[in-house]
Amino acid sequence: MISVAEIGHFALILAVGVALYQFVVPLLGAQRGDVAAMRAGISAAILQLVLIAIAFAALVHAYVTSDFSVLNVVENSHTAKPLLYKISGVWGNHEGSMLLWVLILALYGAAVAVFGGNLPLELRARVLAIQGSIGLAFLLFIVMTSNPFIRVDPPPIEGNGLNPILQDPALAFHPPFLYSGYVGLSIAFAFAVAALIEGRVDAAWARWVRPWTLVAWMFLTVGIAMGSWWSYYELGWGGYWFWDPVENASLMPWLVATALVHSAIVVEKRNALKIWTVLLSILAFSLSLVGTFLVRSGVLTSVHAFAVDPQRGAFILMILCVFIGGSLTLFAWRAPQLKAGGLFAPVSREGSLVLNNLLLCVACLAVFVGTLYPLALETLTGDKISVGPPYFDLTFGPIVLPLLLLVPLGAFLAWKRGDAGLAVKRLVLALVLALGVGAVVFALDVRGPWLAPVGMAVAAWLVFGAIADIAAKTALFKVPLATSWHRLIGLPRSAIGTAVAHAGLGILVAGIIAISLWRVEVIVALKPGESTPVGKYTVTYVGEGPLTGPNYSGRVGTFTVKQGDELLATLHSEKRVFRPSGMPTTEVGLYQTWHGDVYVVMGDETTGGARAMRMYYNPFVNFIWMGAVVMFLGGLLSISDRRYRVGAPKRAAGLQPVAAE
């Protein structure tokens, strides 16, 4: 009998051939005007998805059934692992995660093939061909350097298990979300390259690109938030963002994707910023590739870099050079032929979006330089330096601050020619409220530096500004409430989505400012029965006992959280030792309220029967992830807008694509 793993392996190799076909045939077809060849891309994209899905399913099957004749399963799984982590183990390693990468790529490709019925045939053919070329490169990478279907004979009886700190629900779904974001940007990239080949970018083009970019942006937002949430409660230092190179690798595409989501609006509505938007589309996906390279090549050593293998690094670097170099060369060659259009005054909605793009891109540049400069310096001079959080606080911070201040203002400026005075006048209530919040914080917070009132005022400004935006659009309190309600329902969803996403940003900023300024940290040694104050709470160490899990054992400590005499919660903080690796991990005891968390980590035993403890009160910390979720919902509202569903993406009749010779 043929084993399932071999079927998967076979499907994977077939997919390479199909990707080559999907790349070459529709591209030539579009150049020659051959309709049949152009249509071939559609079936190729669907076939590609089917084949990669078979391969992926075969690998999942091997993991779930613990088929230890597959080397990848031996190295990364174990029979005692819970089912969820057997499945998430598929992408918890280098080979499997690359297979997930191409699976998502094929999903997006098939989505363009199936739902792109309203795209001009040539554009669809070219987009699918570019998608095919990306798929081809990464499938070759998998088959040649990172094949997950390599077999061992004789198969061992037991596997090595998955890294315990990856055995966590949030982290199980972190990679699929993050990859959906990274790879989703390939659609914008493919559209940009296709537009450069065609020599034409118009409002209809932007109307196709924007929803795809928005989808990618939403996935990236959630993926990054999940990773941050995981590091907050799993790593046990109470931090949520460490400016780690791997985190930066995901932040950079997010920043540029955010810029792209905004600039695509300008192309769609005003037919301006076309060349810039094409460049951003290329940059966004290029940064996704850079991120993949940084994480996968082993250039950075961390838990993400499973592949410490120079051959793989060299291969990804080659992919990077071909796609980034190739697309930028094409851009330099063809972009001048894209006609600029849509003049606008500096003070206008367009102007504010240009400034948004400038600041987001420079913020991304700061992250880029900070992440790669140590590598570059060491390669060139041999000197080793470190670039840590203080650098990013000093560069990223001041660049992002004016951006945050501009967000509510931009939304109130009219297209083409805005009136800054009028915008401020309409925002005066939001401004007063925000300053009020700043003043209250200033009055209450005796020890806080200037950052506290300013930061909170900025957060409030974002939230109130978003509310003011909707209030103005619905003429709230100027007309009867029922009329306002009807207007709200009648508003385009994307207008509501914008306000919601901006408010989410404000919530996120509030969380970041609060935790960085008002965190309470207590480091003590406690004996069973002893208590310590943590902020306004009293935490008592009740005692500890042994702990046994499916694939780990350890100690579990019990704690009570009281405020005054009222018992609020009983917490358990664990120290686990995982089989078979023997690796220790901590599980944080967490008491969550809307206004902050009590966070308890057990340390080691110290002299005299006491145990070292680290406890925090993290005020408003959940605002960070809540803000990210609200931003995601804003994106969701925006994408459900009518104009993306109803007959919108039709190019002006009679206008033939202008060949840019």
**What residues from 328 to 347 belong to the interface with another protein (CB under 8 A)?**
343, 346
**What residues from 86 to 145 belong to the interface with another protein (CB under 8 A)?**
none
Whether the CB-CB separation of 601 and 236 falls below 8 Å is answered with: yes
Cis peptide before 156 (omega within 30 of 0): no
Among 114, 169, 373, 397, binds another protein (CB under 8 A): 373
Six-digit token pair at 358? 């400038």
Among 131, 231, 286, 618, binds another protein (CB under 8 A): 231
Q: Is residue 300 near another protein by the rule CB under 8 A?
A: yes
Give 649's DSSP letter. Answer: -
Total binding residues for another protein by CB under 8 A? 55
Task: Tell me the C-alpha distance between 137 and 40, whole Å.
Answer: 20
Q: Is residue 415 near another protein by the rule CB under 8 A?
A: no
Six-digit token pair at 117? 């019925």
Six-digit token pair at 635? 């994106």
Task: Tell me the C-alpha distance between 108 and 113, whole Å.
Answer: 9
Place of tokens 């509310």: 467
SS3 537: strand
For the sheet with 566-578, list strands across it: 531-534, 537-548, 552-563, 566-578, 584-587
Whether the CB-CB separation of 284 and 256 falls below 8 Å is answered with: yes
Among 33, 390, 436, 550, binds another protein (CB under 8 A): 390
Q: Is residue 358 near another protein by the rule CB under 8 A?
A: yes
Whether the CB-CB separation of 90 and 63 falls below 8 Å is answered with: yes
Which listed range, 64-72, 188-196, 389-397, 540-548, lies at the site for another protein (CB under 8 A)?
A: 389-397
Q: Where are the beta strands (DSSP E) in 123-266?
A: none
Place of tokens 């680290």: 614
* Nearer to another protein (CB atom), residue 159 or residue 351: 351
CB of 419 to another protein, least distance (A): 17
Report the run of H or E that residue 552 belongs to, with start and end: strand 552-563
Cis peptide before 175 (omega within 30 of 0): no
Going 290 to 294 to 299 to 300, the CA torsion angle's sign is: positive
Six-digit token pair at 159? 């596997």
Whether the CB-CB separation of 161 and 77 falls below 8 Å is answered with: yes
Q: Is residue 262 near another protein by the rule CB under 8 A?
A: no
CB of 372 to another protein, least distance (A): 10
Six-digit token pair at 255? 């920043």
Task: Tell me the C-alpha distance between 375 and 378, whole Å.
Answer: 5
Among 354, 471, 534, 631, binds another protein (CB under 8 A): 354
**What residues from 165 to 204 belong to the interface with another protein (CB under 8 A)?**
165
Q: Is residue 603 near another protein by the rule CB under 8 A?
A: yes
* Nearer to another protein (CB atom), residue 379 or residue 386: 386
Among 41, 184, 245, 506, binds another protein (CB under 8 A): 245
* Nearer to another protein (CB atom), residue 343 or residue 444: 343
Q: Is residue 612 near another protein by the rule CB under 8 A?
A: yes
Among 328, 365, 491, 629, binds another protein (CB under 8 A): 365
Among 121, 151, 155, 239, binds another protein (CB under 8 A): 239
Whether the CB-CB separation of 581 and 554 falls below 8 Å is answered with: no
Which listed range, 61-69, 144-152, 230-238, 640-648, lies at the site for another protein (CB under 8 A)?
A: 230-238
SS3 302: coil
Provide the mask over 447-486, with x wherever binding to another protein is found by CB under 8 A and - wherever it is not. Answer: ----------------------------------------
Among 144, 606, 650, 655, binds another protein (CB under 8 A): 606
CB of 533 to another protein, least distance (A): 15
Chain residues that interact with another protein, rule: CB under 8 A: 163, 165, 231, 235, 237, 239, 242-247, 300-304, 343, 346, 354, 358-359, 362-363, 365-366, 369-370, 373, 377, 381, 383-391, 394-395, 399, 523-525, 581-584, 603-604, 606, 612, 614
